Structure 1
Amino acid sequence: MSDIQIGMSKRARRTYSLDDIALVPTRRTRDASDVDTSWQIDAFKFDTPLIGAPMDSVTSPATAIALGKLGGLGVLNLEGLWTRYEDPQPYLNEITAMPVDNPIAATCRMQEIYAEPIKPELITARLSEIRESGVIVAGSLTPQNIQEHYETVVKAGVDIFVIRGTTVSAQHVSQNREPLDLKKFIYELDVPVIVGGVAGYTPALHLMRTGAAGVLVGFGGGSAMTTRRGLGIHAAMATAISDVVQARSDYLDESGGRYVHVIADGGQGRSGDIVKSLALGADAAMIGAPLARAEEAPGRGLYWGNEAHSPEYPRGVRTSLEVVGPLEEVLYGPSHHVDGTSNIVGGIKRAMATCGYTDLKSFQRSEVTLIPYGG
């Protein structure tokens, strides 16, 4: 890919978002009822390639259970309200009641609410609640809190461990704290680890070499994050996914056959965005906004991520979303919306069938094209 000259001293690479591409059907069509959307990571198989993002507005223990019973995977934020408060509902009520048109006051109050310390006994209780339902248990920590809480998480019986931050590298370097050596950490765990986000080939390859079972592509949060405005950092998702998929292919050869799953995380607000991520080579999609539109979502139509209440540098906002229906309708329909916000799995199946594919792995060979317009 050729570089573009920004000025005499700097060149840049042209990258593409999901809005910049579209799928091109080039094969005989198939029947949507013949399409299989299942995927498997380690020993765990799921009916749909959809992972609920670890955000308090999206995933509670109850919604993690509901999503699991509907064939997906819900990841609980182990630094959220459910691990800080025995009864988080009053604080959820307060956050969702605050007016959207006064973001500064809302941010200040959220910083106060999330200043309550994380309690190990609540981590254990929440994960045990999910486990008792019979679904696969997944929990998420940020890199800076891994060393303090990971033993509690593992003892509680988590099936899949997620390490999720804005940007995660194979070895974080700091003069203020002992660095987290991901390779050593993952090697010592007996559960599969999904880690990210990354936005490029080299950092993804480094994470794959740590022994991670899956790598998150993107910075998550989508419409609720302001990282681009605050930090000047942004991942053009189509290019990022394609680059990390190439890293997966090269690592497969390098390791003698070890396959690392690529999970698109962010910028996937509607079924069409998820379809494009899967066609570009992602094995699954971690989604927030689509699930935040469900009636059961803790945010009640409001959507925010961990970045929104950072005590030092908040870079997220609460976003108001339209509630479209029950979670089952959001995933499987029947849909009464024409904008890709409900019957997401049905949309994926129809797109795969239209392009002539009946399983996710072969769908990654889909032809894509650049389009001269967004949306």
Structure 2
Amino acid sequence: MEHLEIGRAKRARRVYSFDDVAIVPSRRTRDREDVSTQWRIDAFTFELPFLAAPMDSVMSPATAIAFGRFGGLGVLDLEGLWTRYDDPASLIDEIVDLPPHEATARMQAIYEAPIRSELIAARLGEIRAAGVPVAGALSPQRTQEFYNDVITAGVDLFVIRGTTVSAEHVSRTAEPLNLKQFIYELDVPVIVGGAATYTAALHLMRTGAAGVLVGFGGGAASTTRRVLGIHAPMATAVADVAGARRDYLDESGGRYVHVIADGGLGNSGEIVKAIASGADAVMLGAALARATDAPGRGRHWGAEARHDRLPRGNRVEVGTVGSMEEILFGPARHADGTSNLIGALRHAMATTGYVDLKEFQRAEMIVSPTTHA
């Protein structure tokens, strides 16, 4: 493990982003038709190793249903506009059309409306009625307040998602969420994150989580690095958490916890590198916000952008490249990795000779800091 001297009093570990690494073909290739991109977690099997991020610019009940029918897992933000307003369509249109210099303040005002338990039930019920797996997300701060409503409404998977989530939050003013007890008492698998280090991920795995989200401040709409000075280059973060998964598998006597890359996955090459680095699946935000049928229609924002006291994100323009179906399955109209994401993954796996995702995690990688491929 290489450490560099920043100054006489501080040393730092060298880490890598997806731009810094590349995958090397092996001696064997495969037919793309022989490649499987199936992802299994708990009792659920998905044809795509993709989760749609719980962001209002990406997931509405309708797009969660469509994404589920395509073979992925759509995760609805249960603190978003769909659980605050009976019909938020006009407010989403307003956010999309806001001038950049007005967007943050106006979003803060729009998201001041209270979260309503009956709308949580209604939105999750709408997805369930469509016959696709149901997943909803709450932040750690809101989980204790609303998880009973979520469980009563019925979810297949529950996501606790924050900029960072720890298994040992300490507070002198409020009773923190006891993740281990909370997960133990639930009857559904829980995915928790973000985490970006081996130690943090190992502690989350010990709570009983079925999956750990890996990432911190790396998404297209995030300014966490600029505001807080905190950032985790994703190639190293995913590989570190995959190491925690391996060691926890031994420690627990065979319990496998899924590693899900979350952030900095704007094109197909980054998705491919995330899985080769050790991820079982990826959570996509900006990559899906580019769909013409996404709620944001080429504009993208997350929970950090609407924080009432310290926003750490913006509403950004990512543009549109095609329908959600075209983004997932093609045909691609641009040679930039923004469309036919699953086709690119299958092609990369076939080119390097691997037939499933678990095998592909063993692909050889090289460090190439001067080549941004």
User: After TM superposition, is the score higher than 0.5?
Assistant: yes
Q: CA RMSD, aligned part only?
A: 0.8
Moved over 4 A (4+): none
- Relative to structure 1, the CA distance from residue 130 to residue 220 in structure 2 (aligned partners, 3 Å threshold; closer, same or farther) is farther
CA contact (8 A) 2:217 2:225 kept: no
Instruction: Give yes or no for the alignment of 1:283 onto 2:280.
Output: yes
Deviations 1:9-35 (A, max 9, x none): 111001000110010001311111111
Q: Distance in 2 between matches of 1:68 and 1:53?
A: 13
| Equivalence for 1:374 | 372
In structure 2, stretches of 5+ residues that fail to align are none
Q: Distance in 2 between matches of 1:234 and 1:143?
A: 20
* SS state at 1:230 partner: helix
| Equivalence for 2:145 | 148
- Relative to structure 1, the CA distance from residue 142 to residue 44 in structure 2 (aligned partners, 3 Å threshold; closer, same or farther) is same
Deviates more, 1:349-358 or 1:27-36: 27-36
Which of these residues, 264, 268, 278, is aligned with residue 271 of structure 1?
268
Deviations 1:210-267 (A, max 9, x none): 0000000002661110000100000110000000000000000000000000000000
| Equivalence for 2:211 | 214
| Equivalence for 2:5 | 5
Q: Distance in 2 between matches of 1:7 and 1:221?
A: 26
Deviations 1:311-370 (A, max 9, x none): 010010111112111111110011111001110000000000000011001000000111
| Equivalence for 1:358 | 355
Deviations 1:24-79 (A, max 9, x none): 00131111111100010000100010110000001110110000000000000000
The letter of the residue matching 1:119 is: R
Following TM superposition, by how much is the alpha carbon of 1:167 offset from its aligned partner in structure 2, in angstroms? 0.6
* SS state at 2:371 partner: coil
Q: Distance in 2 between matches of 1:27 and 1:141?
A: 45
| 1:72-87 to 2 correspondences below 5 Å | 72-87=72-87
Instruction: Give yes or no for the alignment of 1:116 onto 2:113.
Output: yes
Q: Distance in 2 between matches of 1:313 and 1:374?
A: 33
Q: Distance in 2 between matches of 1:221 and 1:367?
A: 24
| Equivalence for 1:61 | 61
CA contact (8 A) 1:220 1:265 kept: no
Q: Distance in 2 between matches of 1:268 and 1:293?
A: 13
| Equivalence for 1:255 | 252
| Equivalence for 2:48 | 48
Deviations 1:85-143 (A, max 9, x none): 0010111011001123x2xx211110000000000000000000000000000000000
Q: Distance in 1 between matches of 2:84 and 2:168?
A: 28
The letter of the residue matching 2:328 is: L
CA contact (8 A) 1:197 1:220 kept: no
Q: Give the alignment's TM-score, normalised by structure 1.
A: 0.98
Which of these residues, 277, 297, 308, is aligned with residue 300 of structure 1?
297
| 1:6-45 to 2 correspondences below 5 Å | 6-45=6-45
Q: Distance in 2 between matches of 1:218 and 1:106?
A: 25
Q: Distance in 2 between matches of 1:85 and 1:312?
A: 22
Deviates more, 1:344-353 or 1:20-29: 20-29
Q: Distance in 1 between matches of 2:140 and 2:230?
A: 19
| 1:153-192 to 2 correspondences below 5 Å | 153-192=150-189
Q: Distance in 2 between matches of 1:2 and 1:271?
A: 29
CA contact (8 A) 2:217 2:231 kept: no
* SS state at 1:264 partner: strand
* SS state at 1:233 partner: coil
Deviates more, 1:267-276 or 1:216-225: 216-225
Q: Distance in 2 between matches of 1:136 and 1:271?
A: 24
CA contact (8 A) 1:221 1:288 kept: no
Following TM superposition, by how much is the alpha carbon of 1:171 offset from its aligned partner in structure 2, in angstroms? 2.5
Deviates more, 1:28-37 or 1:133-142: 28-37
CA contact (8 A) 1:221 1:304 kept: no
Q: Distance in 2 between matches of 1:160 and 1:97?
A: 33
Q: Distance in 1 between matches of 2:372 and 2:351?
A: 22
CA contact (8 A) 2:136 2:158 kept: yes
Q: Distance in 1 between matches of 2:168 and 2:86?
A: 34
Q: Distance in 2 between matches of 1:263 and 1:334?
A: 26
* SS state at 1:183 partner: helix
CA contact (8 A) 1:183 1:210 kept: yes
Q: Distance in 2 between matches of 1:53 and 1:221?
A: 13
The letter of the residue matching 2:351 is: T
Instruction: Give yes or no for the alignment of 1:125 onto 2:122.
Output: yes
| Equivalence for 1:139 | 136
Q: Distance in 2 between matches of 1:373 and 1:48?
A: 29
| Equivalence for 2:92 | 92
The letter of the residue matching 2:90 is: P
Q: Distance in 2 between matches of 1:310 and 1:247?
A: 31
Q: Distance in 2 between matches of 1:24 and 1:13?
A: 24
